[in-house]
């Protein structure tokens, strides 16, 4: 039953719990005790107060696109942040892309783009391969020093 919701609030969306249909209450006539409703697809209907009291309805949130049953909605009133593009927006030239150098890139003032290699002592290098290890041992044995 619907005793808690009577009388309906004009401008409130309700859902019929038995059918799952949403509708907007658009008016109430005290003289005839009828409630004017509009479904989301725009269909208009009237429900008398006695029938309203027996309907399984509950208040609900408006649909995401609540403009379906409403006429004469101004786009600016919807609160959307997007705006329509004008022809002049398409005619404007593209702005060049400003590419800034990365922190790791060299900014040599003399114009040279030389690769800087950090020197590593030969003794600090490790040999992972058995063949390479043997070559290092042979070179050390013949020359008397490590390569």
Q: Are 7 and 49 in contact (CB under 8 A)?
A: yes
Q: In what order do the strands lie in the sheet with 44-48?
A: 44-48, 34-39, 22-29, 13-16, 57-59
CATH, residue 10: 2.30.30.30
pLDDT of residue 14: 93
Give domain status of residue 97, yes or no. Answer: no
> How confident is the model over 107-126, as pLDDT tens digits?
555 455 555 555 555 554 55
Give domain status of residue 51, yes or no. Answer: yes
Give domain status of residue 83, yes or no. Answer: no
pLDDT of residue 124: 46
Q: How many domains does the chain have?
A: 1
Report the chain's mean pLDDT, rounded to a whole number. Answer: 74
**CA-CA distance, 11 to 69, in Å (whole number)?**
12
Give domain status of residue 103, yes or no. Answer: no
| Range among 8-12, 95-99, 125-129 rated most confident | 8-12
**CA-CA distance, 140 to 135, in Å (whole number)?**
8
Residue whose C-alpha is closest to residue 40's, from 18, 17, 20: 20
Where does the pLDDT of residue 25 fall: very low under 50, low under 70, confident under 90, or very high at 90 and above? Answer: very high
Residue ranges making up the domain that contains 41: 1-71
Structure tokens at 18: 């038995």
- Residue 57, phi then psi, degrees to nearest 5: -125, 155
> How confident is the model over 49-86, as pLDDT tens digits?
889 988 899 999 888 776 665 666 666 666 665 666 77
Give domain status of residue 31, yes or no. Answer: yes
Give domain status of residue 111, yes or no. Answer: no
Give domain status of residue 11, yes or no. Answer: yes
Give domain status of residue 20, yes or no. Answer: yes
Mean pLDDT, range 92-96, rounded to an integer: 73
């Amino acid at each position: 039953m619907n005793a808690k919701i009577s009388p309906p609030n004009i401008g409130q969306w309700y859902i019929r719990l038995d059918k799952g249909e949403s509708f907007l209450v658009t008016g109430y006539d005290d003289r005839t005790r009828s409630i004017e409703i509009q479904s989301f697809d725009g269909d208009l209907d009237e429900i008398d107060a006695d029938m309203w009291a027996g309907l399984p309805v509950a208040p609900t949130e408006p649909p995401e696109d609540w403009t379906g049953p409403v006429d004469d909605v101004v786009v600016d009133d919807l609160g959307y942040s997007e705006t329509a593009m004008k022809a002049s927006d398409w005619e404007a030239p593209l702005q060049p892309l400003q590419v800034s150098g990365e922190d790791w890139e060299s900014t040599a003032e003399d114009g040279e783009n030389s690769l800087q290699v950090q020197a590593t002592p030969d003794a600090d290098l490790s040999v992972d391969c058995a063949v390479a290890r043997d070559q290092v041992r042979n070179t050390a044995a013949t020359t008397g020093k490590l390569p």
